[in-house]
């Protein structure tokens, strides 16, 4: 796969340094086809490679249990930066930095930012190398550029699927955000967590566009889900089993709150939270998802019942206001 840096030399050095005999490769869906080529490199280096086949959407989903179960002495996790403070199995993160040029896409974005002066800049881990280059293009075109650093992420300006603290930290200071990277996913997160006009500069398609209509559509869906959940009598409170998604104490609090409000509430634990999983419990009226908030926000059309985030549940039972939640941003904080 061209256009990404898989840091093969670093991987080989780490294997040698650790004397690793058995290595688990974990790649997100878009990069999985590289698994075989990378496994071959590892095998030539004298270690046994095993490729994790299960879905992987973030560093929250690090395959520690799988590694322990397979007696693996090194995990190589691709495509995400470190999220957990500590892993029980030695782990290296290969962030798969992209080498695709971004200048054309950013130039396409300029007309869409014409009414705005102060621009917040954000990107996924893949494009961090080019942030300064993008800043220069914007400055040359008369913009003031701010790159947020909340201290919670590995790098300034970086956003992940669920952590928008860097853009939130500067939302009050900017007129709009420019997100550099492919796909709608991260840019939607920027818009949903800041309520600011957000433009994508997509270097893979060499085009730029506003994500604001898409974000508005999701906000309307979330409102409809909250409204539907207000009449729920039985809640399913979902605990995620992925290492960085497990929030048992939060789930317990929600269960108690629902019961305090006179509703029934049941704890459900699952690794993969999908429509099929939730269909198995027909007597549940609405779910509260304490795992990955993107499951609620991005996939709501796929579920037949409301699947609220923790914040949305607080609105549904009247413990928080919709307006305040929107102001805080749709992601837990």
What residues make contact with a copy of itself under the rule CB under 8 A?
24, 29, 32-33, 35-36, 39-40, 48-55, 65-66, 69-71, 234, 238-239, 241, 246, 248, 252, 264, 266-273, 276-278, 280-284
Query: For 227, phi and psi rounded to 5 degrees?
Result: -60, -45
Query: Which is nearer to a copy of itself, 69 or 132 (by Cβ)?
Result: 69
| Distance of closest approach, residue 33 Cβ to a copy of itself, in angstroms | 6
Query: Which is nearer to a copy of itself, 48 or 320 (by Cβ)?
Result: 48
| Distance of closest approach, residue 282 Cβ to a copy of itself, in angstroms | 6
| Distance of closest approach, residue 236 Cβ to a copy of itself, in angstroms | 8
| Distance of closest approach, residue 266 Cβ to a copy of itself, in angstroms | 5
| Distance of closest approach, residue 81 Cβ to a copy of itself, in angstroms | 22
Reported as half-sphere exposure (CB side, CA atoms, 13 A), residue 280 has a value of 7
How many C-beta neighbours within 10 Å does residue 92 have? 18
CA distances to 12, 97, 195, 234 from 316, in Å: 51, 41, 21, 13
Query: Which is nearer to a copy of itself, 177 or 235 (by Cβ)?
Result: 235
Q: Would you say 131 and 121 are in contact if contact means Cβ atoms under 8 Å apart?
A: yes
Query: Which is nearer to a copy of itself, 97 or 271 (by Cβ)?
Result: 271
Q: Is 330 helix (H, G, I), strand (E, B) or coil?
A: coil
Query: Which is nearer to a copy of itself, 212 or 285 (by Cβ)?
Result: 285
Q: Would you say 300 and 222 are in contact if contact means Cβ atoms under 8 Å apart?
A: yes
DSSP string, 53-106: -S---SGGG--HHHHHHTT-SEEEEESS---SS--SS-EEEE--EE----HHHH
């Amino acid at each position: 796969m061209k256009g990404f840096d898989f840091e093969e030399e670093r991987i080989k050095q780490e294997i040698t340094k650790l004397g690793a005999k058995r290595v688990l490769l974990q790649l997100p869906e878009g990069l999985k086809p590289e698994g075989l080529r990378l496994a071959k490199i590892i095998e030539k280096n004298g270690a046994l490679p095993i490729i994790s086949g299960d879905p992987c959407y973030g560093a929250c989903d690090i395959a520690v249990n799988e590694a322990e179960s397979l007696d693996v002495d090194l995990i190589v996790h691709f495509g995400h930066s470190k999220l957990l403070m500590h892993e029980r199995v030695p782990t290296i993160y290969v962030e798969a930095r992209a080498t695709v040029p971004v200048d054309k896409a950013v130039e396409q974005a300029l007309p869409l930012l014409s009414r705005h002066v102060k621009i917040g800049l954000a990107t996924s881990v893949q494009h961090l190398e080019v942030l300064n280059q993008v800043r220069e293009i914007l400055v040359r075109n008369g913009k003031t550029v701010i790159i947020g650093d909340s201290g919670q992420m590995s790098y300034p300006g970086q956003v992940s699927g669920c952590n928008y603290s860097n853009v939130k930290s500067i939302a009050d200071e900017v007129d709009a955000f420019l997100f550099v990277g492919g796909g709608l996913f991260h840019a939607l997160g920027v818009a949903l967590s800041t309520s600011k006009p957000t433009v994508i500069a997509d270097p893979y398609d060499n085009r730029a566009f506003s994500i604001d209509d898409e974000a508005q559509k999701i906000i309307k869906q979330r409102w409809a889900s909250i409204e539907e959940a207000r009449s729920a009598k039985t809640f399913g409170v979902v605990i995620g089993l992925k290492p960085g998604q497990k929030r048992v104490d939060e789930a317990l609090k929600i269960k108690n709150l629902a019961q305090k409000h006179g509703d029934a509430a049941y704890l459900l634990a699952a690794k993969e939270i999908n429509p099929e999983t939730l269909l198995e419990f027909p007597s549940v009226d609405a779910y509260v998802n304490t795992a990955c908030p993107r499951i609620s926000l991005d996939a709501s059309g796929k579920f037949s019942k409301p699947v609220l985030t923790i914040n949305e549940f607080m609105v549904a039972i009247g413990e928080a206001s919709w307006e305040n939640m929107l102001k805080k941003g749709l992601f837990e904080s």
